[in-house]
Amino acid sequence: MSAEHPAPVVRQLRLVVEAADHEAAVAFFRDALGLPEQAAFTGDGDARVVILDAGRATLEIANPAQKRMIDEVEVGRQVAPRIRVAFEVDDARETTARLVAAGAHEIAPPTRTPWQSLNSRLDAPADLQITIFEELRTPEDQAG
């Protein structure tokens, strides 16, 4: 890297979520969604954490107009809180059905977006609103 562009110092993004029903949240995200367990720790006073591997992480920073537009495309109305977590999967329809069967509430079914992905919106354990998305274009299509 050049002096103008030093090497990145961030090595990992971790999203830390408080879940009142810890077991249900772990079962949903680990077992139903399929995020592999990377580590688990316990501490005094029944303190517990499970770290799940969610693959490559990105941080999307959207202004209010963009957030509203995404809600309109995916759901048809404004529903998202300030923070929403999105998971890329190979099959959005199958994953959405599996997560609904595991206890998520479907806000909107898989919908084709203008940016060529298939996105569903769910209320998930730990009071998280999540998007399940499947890229419909190949990496070659996206590069061109």
The pLDDT value recorded for residue 10 is 86
Q: Residue 142: its pLDDT value, please? A: 59
Question: Nearest 5 degrees, angle CA 34-CA 117-CA 104?
Answer: 40
Task: Reply yes or no on whether the pLDDT at 126 is more than 90.
Answer: yes
Residue-wise pLDDT for 57-85, tens only, equals: 999 999 999 999 999 999 999 999 999 99
Please tell me the pTM assigned to this model: 0.87
The amino acid sitting at 19 is A
138 against 72, higher pLDDT: 72
C-beta atoms surrounding 70 within 10 Å: 20
- Per-residue model confidence (pLDDT) at position 3: 66
CB burial of residue 22 (10 Å; 0-12, 13-18, 19+): middle
d(CA 72, CA 62): 14
